[in-house]
């Protein structure tokens, strides 16, 4: 996994009057590393319907589709992975509920990271690297130094690490060589502009996604690692 780990956060998007599936299509144009649907406030039926709509779109683009929290919905929708947090079901239980479904996990400190690495998920997420506004009760900020140490441990275990928390296009540039991928939520959306059409907004979403994803292309990543 390398590049942009794009998160389709339904709450954030609907707050900006942006249709989530249209937003996803704009992001998928750049073929990011993965696309996760985060729909914590939606009923299960609506979440499942959205995942089922996203699945063929992701698979046509060759992009991994990740369901948040719910291995049952991930299986029913044909997702590639389920992502679990520290307050969600444990990795081993997710695997029992959905044999064969890949699992990724969020971690927020060295102890959680070590436990996750021992469970051998497909990837570990680590952070928040910076302050974030898209989580109601975020864990303490780990900073760039904390991310650097976590990346070294994940690389030694040969498990990709996704940096999470408060990541913007500008901040992502400083994380090249310190993470395999970066999870971005709010900064894929341009600032509000009353005169901007939906079409123009989605064009800007694609441009923002492309700029972040390109940072982690092999040549760019090699330069970042050499810094």
pLDDT tens-digit profile of 49-104? 999 999 999 999 999 999 999 999 999 999 999 999 988 888 999 999 898 899 99
Residue that the structure tokens 């989530």 belong to: 20
pLDDT for position 40? 87
Q: Give the separation between CA 109 and CA 114, rounded to whole angstroms.
A: 9
Q: Could you tell me what percent of the chain has a pLDDT over 70?
A: 93
Structure tokens at 15: 């707050």
Taking 60 as the threshold, does the pLDDT of residue 126 lie above it?
yes
Q: Is 140 in contact with 170 (CB distance < 8 Å)? A: no
How far apart are the two ends of the chain, measured CA to CA in Å?
21
The DSSP bridge partners found for residue 5 are 34, 183
Where residue 136 falls among pLDDT bands split at 50, 70, 90?
low
- Ranges of H-type helices in the chain: 10-15, 20-28, 44-61, 71-77, 91-97, 110-119, 143-156, 169-173, 198-215, 218-225
Specify the CATH number for 3-104+162-225; select among 3.90.700.10, 1.10.600.10, 3.20.20.70, 3.30.10.20. Answer: 3.20.20.70
Q: Give the separation between CA 82 and CA 36, rounded to whole angstroms.
A: 9
Structure tokens at 143: 């900073």
Residue 195 burial (CB count, 10 A): 5
Give CA separation, 167 vs 53, 77, 142, 150, 183, in Å: 27, 29, 13, 17, 7
Q: Give the separation between CA 77 and CA 21, rounded to whole angstroms.
A: 15
Cis peptide leading into residue 32 (ω within 30°): no
* pLDDT tens string 7-27: 999 999 998 899 999 999 999
């Amino acid at each position: 996994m390398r590049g942009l780990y794009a998160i389709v956060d339904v709450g954030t998007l609907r707050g900006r009057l942006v249709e989530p599936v249209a937003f996803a299509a704009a992001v998928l144009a750049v073929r990011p590393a993965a696309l996760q649907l985060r729909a914590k406030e939606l009923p299960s039926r609506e979440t499942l319907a959205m995942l089922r709509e996203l699945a063929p779109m992701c698979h046509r683009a060759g992009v991994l589709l990740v369901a948040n929290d719910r291995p049952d919905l991930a299986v029913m929708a044909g997702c590639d992975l389920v992502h679990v947090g520290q307050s969600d079901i444990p990795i081993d239980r997710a695997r029992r509920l959905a044999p064969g479904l890949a699992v990724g996990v969020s971690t927020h400190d060295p102890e959680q990271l070590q436990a996750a690495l021992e469970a051998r998920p497909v990837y570990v997420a680590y952070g928040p690297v910076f302050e974030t506004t898209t989580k109601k009760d975020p864990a303490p900020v780990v900073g760039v130094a904390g991310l650097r140490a976590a990346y070294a441990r994940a690389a030694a275990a040969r498990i990709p690490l996704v940096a999470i928390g408060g990541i913007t296009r500008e901040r992502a540039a400083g994380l090249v060589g310190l993470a395999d991928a970066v999870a971005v939520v709010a900064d894929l959306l341009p600032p509000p502009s009353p005169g901007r059409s939906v079409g123009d907004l989605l064009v800007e979403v694609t441009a923002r996604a492309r700029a972040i994803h390109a940072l982690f292309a092999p040549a760019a990543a090699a330069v970042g690692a050499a810094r």
